[in-house]
């Protein structure tokens, strides 16, 4: 069941307490595709510039991803982001953002990309996400990411596209900002009323929570002794999450997914993200192998399970 992702393909210059990298391959669509391609064939959609070379294209093609819709804009420059992480990796400063070829991007999907059963709308301007959604009418599971910027300056359009997806994947503080509800459960419930059947709250180093109309599921981040570069962790999580769901859709759609499939999607997303943050940029996901991911899913099972003991409590 193929997966289409539309979003940024970028060069990232990153400094963390563990080193620095200049103009390494990054971007939401890139990180998503590297994870999702472990599960199903991925179609990447996004613009790059003249500065985007064969080496980068080759990385995008990892595990058979299709890059026919990676559009090279003649005379343009690839999206660029520069950031600095503090000793506490939860804190980062953005030092530079250059939209470049993204400034005039209008997604045009090939028939193959339009026909994917599964669609991920990575974080771009909500109006563009709507344009893509309209081109993929047959998609049976559509997930969406966004960011605080669009809640600030394009909330109406963002709500419009959220109404037309099955799954919203957002940082938990963005869920609160979007709804004005400081409580995660009530924020998620409000958005479930708009249309999506699944809400995923990304909680950074604390993991993620999943809320549907009749279930709440929570999973910690995979415990690591060293996190080297958190860039792209959320998109890698989304790639593992959506990729796993793509293997399990069967003849149904997003509404028909069982609680255990959704929980497994959380576990595969979490495991994928752990390989991303252990190394810089795309290094971790380029090198990862399936057995290692499955092993970490088993670890996550073990480190969250307990068998309730019954004790006599005094009331």
Indicate which single residue of 3, 144, 158, 219 sits in contact with its own copies (rule: CB under 8 A).
219
Sign of CA dihedral 276, 279, 283, 289: negative
55 binds its own copies (CB under 8 A): no
Pairwise CA distance, residues 292 & 288, whole Å: 7
Indicate which single residue of 147, 154, 256, 261 sits in contact with its own copies (rule: CB under 8 A).
261
Task: Answer for the pair 29, 7: CB distance below 8 angstroms, yes or no.
Answer: yes
In sequence order, the 6+-apart residues with CB closer than 8 A to the CB of 214 are none
297 binds its own copies (CB under 8 A): yes
226 binds its own copies (CB under 8 A): yes
Indicate which single residue of 58, 183, 213, 255 sits in contact with its own copies (rule: CB under 8 A).
183
171 binds its own copies (CB under 8 A): no
248 binds its own copies (CB under 8 A): yes
Q: Which is nearer to its own copies, 82 or 189 (CB)?
A: 189
Indicate which single residue of 58, 97, 148, 304 sits in contact with its own copies (rule: CB under 8 A).
304
Indicate which single residue of 9, 33, 89, 136 sits in contact with its own copies (rule: CB under 8 A).
89
Indicate which single residue of 34, 165, 242, 288 sits in contact with its own copies (rule: CB under 8 A).
288
Q: Which is nearer to its own copies, 10 or 227 (CB)?
A: 227
Of residues 149-168, those binding its own copies (CB under 8 A): none
């Amino acid at each position: 069941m193929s997966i289409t992702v539309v979003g940024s393909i970028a060069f990232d210059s990153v400094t963390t307490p563990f080193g620095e990298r200049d103009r390494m391959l990054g971007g939401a669509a890139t990180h998503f595709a590297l994870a999702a391609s472990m599960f199903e064939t991925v179609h990447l959609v996004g613009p790059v510039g003249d500065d985007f070379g064969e080496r980068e294209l080759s990385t995008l093609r990892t595990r058979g991803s299709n890059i026919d819709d990676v559009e090279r804009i003649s005379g343009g420059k690839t999206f660029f982001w520069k950031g600095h992480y503090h000793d506490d990796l939860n804190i980062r400063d953005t030092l530079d953002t250059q939209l470049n070829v993204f400034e005039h991007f209008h997604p045009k999907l090939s028939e193959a990309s339009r026909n994917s059963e599964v669609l991920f709308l990575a974080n771009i301007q909500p109006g563009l996400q709507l344009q893509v959604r309209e081109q993929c009418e047959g998609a049976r599971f559509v997930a969406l990411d966004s960011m605080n910027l669009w809640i600030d300056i394009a909330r109406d359009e963002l709500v419009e596209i959220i109404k037309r997806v099955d799954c919203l994947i957002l940082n938990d503080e963005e869920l609160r900002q979007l709804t004005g509800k400081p409580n995660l459960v009530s924020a998620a419930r409000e958005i479930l009323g708009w249309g999506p059947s699944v809400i995923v709250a990304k909680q950074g180093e604390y993991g993620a929570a999943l809320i549907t109309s009749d279930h709440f599921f929570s999973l910690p981040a995979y415990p690591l002794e060293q996190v080297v570069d958190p860039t792209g962790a959320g998109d890698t999580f989304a790639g593992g999450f959506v990729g796993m769901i793509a293997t399990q859709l069967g003849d149904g759609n997003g509404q028909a997914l069982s609680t255990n499939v959704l929980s497994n999607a959380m576990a595969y997303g979490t495991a994928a993200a752990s390989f991303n943050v252990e190394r810089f940029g795309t290094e971790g996901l380029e090198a990862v192998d399936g057995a290692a991911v499955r092993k970490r899913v088993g670890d996550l099972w073990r480190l969250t399970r307990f068998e309730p003991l019954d004790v006599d409590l005094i009331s």
